[in-house]
Amino acid sequence: MYGSISSGFSPPTEEEIRPSDASINRALQAERGTNYEVGARGQLWNERVRYDVALYDLRVRQTITTRTTDQGTQLFDNAGNTRQRGAEAALSGWLWRPASSLTLVP
């Protein structure tokens, strides 16, 4: 079992700061996020099957969204907070394994 808390940020791209109308969006802020995650990793059936399961809750502040003007120009704004929750699972294993040591008979 494990748990983690991590945080980070994603600055606006050049395309978001300088949209197609050649203006400069000086008010656009970086997105900032905190991720909470819990999960479990392990093995079953004499190490033949491995699993990894995780649940996460990502909270993003200053989410960058897009809007289109009447002239068709795409502009970007910070639109508040978003929350993304989810689950991830992975399963892998062996159908058969070669013998770990071979005995040669002369």
Please check whether residue 12 lies inside any domain of the structure.
yes
Average pLDDT by stretches of 10, the chain with 106 residues? 97 89 89 97 88 97 91 89 96 76 54
Domain of 8, in residue numbers: 2-93
- Residue 75 placed within a domain: yes
Looking at residue 98, its pLDDT comes to 67
The whole-angstrom separation of Cα 87 and Cα 60 is 17
Residue 104 resides in a domain: no
**Is 25 among the domain residues?**
yes
100, part of any domain? no
What is residue 2's predicted lDDT score, i.e. its pLDDT? 96
Q: Give how many domains the chain has, as a whole number.
A: 1
| pLDDT reported for residue 89 | 97
Q: Are 37 and 56 in contact (CB under 8 A)?
A: yes
- Could you tell me if residue 99 is inside a domain? no
pTM of this prediction exceeds 0.75: no
